[in-house]
Structure 1
């Protein structure tokens, strides 16, 4: 099985889990067509090296996917309302900056510079929040993952690499605000208490609803930030 088949199959499995659970209702799903240039990992890394001077190592191969976009949205059907959404962009689309991140005057100069240079990997267009995650390519060609919360005017570096971001996205189904579990924040603060409450409901519920996933490490991250 090719790596792209593996990740795309995992996406399909994640969608099926949402559909089959009584707890959740799938409200949107879309796998964009496969573009000829972007259907092969070798072709993609060669083109990005030539056109963008960005060199992807083999760690990107395991989570490579061919569709230009994988977009899923859902909401809970029982208990306190929990919603999730992810709109994953093809790595070629991200690095070539087909989506330009917004400017935010509320951020400091250094943060605005990082935000402006992000290669967007994930958005939530149906939710209309303006939140996004992106890769920041450092001067020594390392890849950092950052999360931007438009509503709270926050930009946070995440304790995740690209593969880890995608892995958690599928396990946690893009639950709104999950990225804060990997940021250096206190979730018991006034501005994040709603996010914390939502994540607590999710982590109380998901182990039973989606028993094929292990959420203990995420629970530990939540407790460390409360």
Structure 2
């Protein structure tokens, strides 16, 4: 059985973690499979938005597969750590906008996958947290870096150092979630479809400018923005948008 499912429909890629019997935890094979799926999405011009979710009703992902972890040597643990870092960085750097649809438990690496996405929404019964310190380790797939950038340093310190688990409503109140909804995939698809009304190259360049600019000083960020804008100038989609405006119709963007 495939541990990662990929479905592409109407320019949206749905990536499902498919190990419901193991609460969609990550073993090494699953990480390798996810790595290949992300690479294929990154170069697929038909995919304009990506949605991640978990199989079953219990979990988005509870992180590392602890049953596998108990059998690993120190070298193998380092191998897994390197792999999950590379995969989640690849997700963070996908050119397409990404949405995490958190359908249940999201702990450790599962929460870190969600943090690597641009948007996070969760079912009302979802519970989440970076719980690694309770296992005498620390978040190792971006959690110590991405969480404070999203919710601030003090709150991130609290959640990580206490290994606290929080509800979806709590996560929403601190700005971790875009929305709490029990129509999770439907709402994620609606958000994706709203973005799909806009120019696909513009979406990618706007995301790039924001992501790169956040790690730079203002003047460098403004330079990044200008160069990203310049990428959109010679596109057919920009001309189509002007033509559609003059003809009072919706533009038909091709991603060209």
Q: Give the helix-richer structure, 1 or 2.
A: 2
Structure 1 and Structure 2 fold alike (TM over 0.5):
no
The structure having more radius of gyration, on CA atoms, is: 2
Length-normalised TM-score, structure 1: 0.31
TM-score by length of 2: 0.28
